[in-house]
Amino acid sequence: MRLIKNNIEHGGSGSVTLCPEEPEDMWHAYNLIRPNDLLRASAIRRVIHTSQDSGSTTSTRVHMTLEIRVKSLDFDPQSNQLHVAGQIMNETQHTRVGQHHTLDLELHRNFTLVKEIGAEGEGVGWDSIAIEMLKDAVDEGGKRRAEAVAVVMQEGLAHICFIGQFQTILKQKVEMSIPRKRHGGGDHDKGMTKFYQVTLDTLLRQLEFNTSFTASTSNEPVKPILLASPGFVASGFQKHIQSVASTSTPALKRLLPSIVVVHSASGYLHSLSEVLQSPAVKTLLADTKYARETKLMDDFLEHLRKDTNKATYGPREVEFAVDQGAVGRGGGVLIISNRLFRSQDVAERKRWVALVDRVRDVEGGEVRVLSSDHESGKRLDGLGGVAALLTFPIAEEEFDSEEEFDSEEEDEAAEGMNMANGQAEVPAI
């Protein structure tokens, strides 16, 4: 994402103009744009003209720039298409204020996003989380690319996935019918050879759009390519690539050292999480953002398994730990899913932004925002979307006793209300 103009004011209101340059930029835009924001972008609107003489109608497509008050977003992670619906805010020759329109954001077309701080709390402006998301979205160095590609396969089925810094995307699915292996196996072998070639052609087409896998200079490392399958399908595919590379272009030969074969339970997409958890792959991706997030969740779950009382999860439990000063300097880590910041409820978003700001700016702890489109973020979502590693143990009894105390106070208050209303309790007989 290229930053064209930054007009964010000190108070938190303001606008930015951005130009998405890669498909992944649509994912960043989806996280940046929230309901009640103002979005300005080029649009195509169908205009109907009625002839005064004959009464016949004709329609034309008119290009214009529209500004809408965002109501909802529709994002397709597979195709990286983002549709933003809302009410039109600017009067034009062909539109009126208040009409509904859906803007389709496109690559290499600028859009302007305006965030306001509403007088009655309907807008949150450019808070600390939005600023961090903007920094992640803007690729000033041009180095943000997919960190690995994985081909999860079995006989007649292959899923080609790109593992990026912020999401794992299924780029293409290959499915073919393979003849059953009979005596001699000639038809089966021919079917597998054709399947391997179709998968390789599909893989190479996808790699053309991501130059980090085919580095142009010898000093630039080639990103890893993971081949995973049950049995010997992946190793057979590797041998097929080697045989094709012997008579092919240097670009394909350059990929050979980066290919790693690992085992998976099946060729279906859900086996990718198993592949990424294997020791060989963890070592290979040790320096990537994905691996750091995975290790963080592994450490957290290890604390839970050992019952050290130095790990907690869930909204109320984590907020209680922060109140006790246990998520601060000396190893405290707040782990939170970016899904919580996409909440339609402004008050809910403010709750989590305030928690992040407190841990990072007041308590001095570390904050790690995990992508809900990665395996580690999905594991975190299963724990309520928020967790914490603590600087010192907090016994569960402390939290339970506080809840019991609050419950007793509520019971006493209810009893007092009943007495005040003349509703004294009648003892059971």
Please give the Cα distance from 342 to 140 (Å, whole number): 25
- Rounded to 5°, the CA angle 190-193-196 comes to 150
- Say yes or no: 224 and 316 in one domain: no
Task: Provide the 3-class DSSP secondary structure of residue 23.
Answer: coil
Report yes or no: 336 and 385 within 8 Å, Cβ to Cβ.
yes
Answer yes or no: is 404 within a domain. no
Residue 356 falls inside a structural domain: yes
CATH number at residue 312: 3.30.1330.30
Q: How many domains does the chain have?
A: 3
Provide the pLDDT for residue 355. Answer: 95
Inside any domain, residue 416? no
CB 350 within 8 Å of CB 278: no
What domain range includes position 74? Answer: 2-137
CATH number for the domain that contains residue 11:
2.30.30.870
pLDDT in tens, 164-201: 777 788 889 999 999 887 665 678 889 999 999 999 99
**Pair (174, 220) in one structural domain:** yes
- Whether residue 406 lies inside any domain: the answer is no
Same domain, 253 and 314: no
User: Is 413's pLDDT higher than 70?
Assistant: no
Residue 382 pLDDT > 60? yes
How many Å apart are CA 408 and CA 55, to the nearest integer? Answer: 75
CATH number at residue 183: 3.30.420.60
Are 113 and 165 contained in the same domain? no
What's the average model confidence in pLDDT over 279-285? 80
In a domain, 424, yes or no: no
What pLDDT, in 10s, does the model give residues 79-136? 778 999 999 998 888 888 999 999 999 889 999 999 988 655 456 789 889 998 898 8
**Do 319 and 276 sit in the same domain of this protein?**
no
Residue ending a domain, among 74, 105, 137, is: 137
429 found inside a domain = no
Please tell me whether residues 267 and 345 are part of one structural domain. no
Higher pLDDT, 26 or 284: 26
Q: What is the pLDDT of residue 39?
A: 95
Residue 409 inside a domain? The answer is: no
Tell which of 107, 137, 167 closes a domain. 137
Please check whether residue 423 lies inside any domain of the structure.
no
